[in-house]
Amino acid sequence: MRKVLYVPLDDRDCNYQFPWLLSQMTEGLELLRQPYEWMGFLKKPADREKIWEWLFEQAGECDYAILSVDTLVYGNIIGSRIHTYSMEECRETMDRFRQLKKQNPQLHIHAFNLAARVAAYNDNHEDPEYWQEYGYDIWRYTWLWDKKKPAGISEKEAEALESLQKKIPKEIMQDFLERRKTDRFVNLTSVELVRENVFDILTVPKDDTAEFGYAALDQMAIMQKAEEEQLMNRVYCYPGADEVGSVIFARVFCRIKQYQPVFYVRYSSLTGSSVIPLYEDRPLGESIKWQILSAGGICSETPADADCMLAVNAPGTCQIESANQKSGRIFASDNATNPEELLRYIRYYKEYYGKPVGISDVTMANGCDNAFMNRAMQHHTFDRIAALGGWNTAENTNGVVIAVLAIAAFYQEWTDFPELKKKADTFLLRALTADWLCQANVLRQFLDEYAPAHQIEPYFLREKEEESRKYFLRCLRSLLQEKLGGRLKGQKAILENIRFNWNGAFYYAVDVSLKE
């Protein structure tokens, strides 16, 4: 049994649970995680000392480690945005990676360290307290300040920049900039650890990023250092965050199995690969290539040469929010897509090549495209595919689907491994329930209708959590029966429970099972 250490980005299912569920689709490989109660909660950081102690205890038995630098330095993903650690304190923590490698030279460390986001809205739920009043202003100021240098800004934008500089209190701006300085120090030190061969590969996901601003500046500094050190083949920087644990697990799996999956990528629209999704900084097609490369695979232009197919339901001209799909669909964007052809090709590919297919539904952000999913239901597509996703950002979706596909390709869709196939099919049912039925439907009903009528605060359910759970379960079970007939791949589909990470309706996780 090969053992792999894993320190997640935070305690949510997408980070703590998904890579472990992927490991259950493999044989001869065990993913070791620290106890859940050590992982913190929202703005409460993880117990870093216990996790570091656990790492040193377990490392001697492991060949690989997938480590979140953000968790081990700041406590979790939110810690990178709100911490008060000095640069010297972070330097001391980063030295622990050197000690870990020195004591365990056999350990291949695949680390990931986010380029911290600058959220473009006023809300302090996942950011410093002052983000409630000045969040958007800080984002806008840093965006204009960065744009001014390479691209130039208009007279109106220059006036806005000056106005924002006066509006944002100096002590708040100083706090923000000092933390960014420390975060970038950790980013650059992580690159140094690649040069020192402490880290085999460093992945730098860009969380909620854009063309200009501090995340863009951080990427520039990171990649300049990587180029100076001749490490461009070992430092990856691309949009994403909550999918990265799953993607790196797929990479480690492929290395252990000495396997390089070949992906054929097919879009529902000719222009889809060139669309820049919401919360991202580059064309969809380029990010997908990065996700495939990061998972240990390569792309092929022809289906015959591939081990699997990634079918991408992509927007024609621009991505919209799933919450707006009833009234805010863009006619021109829909006209530039042909989802019917994509679904028919999936059937052809399965019948002609017999290789696994995964669907990445990224026409919209934060939920599946109901029209596409209803079409897929009519085509009985869900019984043919190995993976599906349509949640949060495009790269969150792409990364997890690609990770599952890499494993499915190695096992030839688990033809000779019925127990592993059952785990994979259950993960597919989870995606159908969470990304389609819940995020694109029940969650919207809850936020728009039920929560206001019952005086429920969606970010903090508090004593309303049980009432909210019953509402979600009732609605989801009804939809599961209506849309899927309560079955998937000839098995009874059961929704057992829904849980709310961080006590918020937005951070739900579903528990499902399949019965013969």
Task: Indicate if the alpha-carbon torsion angle 462, 465, 471, 477 is positive or negative.
Answer: positive
Q: What is the pLDDT of residue 212?
A: 82
- Rounded to whole angstroms, the Cα distance separating 222 from 219 reads 5
pLDDT of residue 214: 83
Q: Is the Cβ–Cβ distance between 131 and 151 less than 8 Å?
A: no
Tokens of 279: 């919360």
The pLDDT of residue 199 is: 98
Predicted local confidence at residue 151, as pLDDT: 72
Q: Which residue ranges in the chain fall short of pLDDT 70?
A: none
What pLDDT does 177 receive? 94
Which of 457, 490, 480, 508 is CA-nearest to residue 123?
457
Model confidence over 404-435: pLDDT tens digits? 999 999 999 999 999 999 999 999 999 999 99
- Token couple for 355: 């290789």
- What's the pLDDT at 149? 76
Query: For position 153, what pLDDT does the model report?
Result: 85
Which residues have CB under 8 Å from 319's CB, separation 6+? 275, 277, 278, 362, 363, 364, 365, 394
Strand segments (E) across 341-402: 357-361, 364-365, 387-389
CA dihedral angle for residue 430, residue 434, residue 440, residue 446, rounded to 10 degrees: 150
DSSP conformation letters of 52-107: HHHHHHHGGG-SEEEEEHHHHHHSSTTHHHH----HHHHHHHHHHHHHHHHH-TT-
Helix (H) or strand (E) holding 397: helix 394-410
pLDDT for 76 equals 97
In terms of Cα–Cα distance, which of 80, 355, 353 is closest to 208? 80
Q: What is the pLDDT, as a whole number, of residue 211?
A: 77
Q: Locate all alpha helices (DSSP H) within 411-494, ordered by sequence.
A: 418-431, 443-445, 451-453, 465-484
| pTM tops 0.85, yes or no | yes
> What is the H or E stretch that residue 235 is in?
strand 235-239
Pairing state between β 487-488 and 491-500: antiparallel
Residue whose C-alpha is closest to residue 67's, from 92, 101, 43 = 101
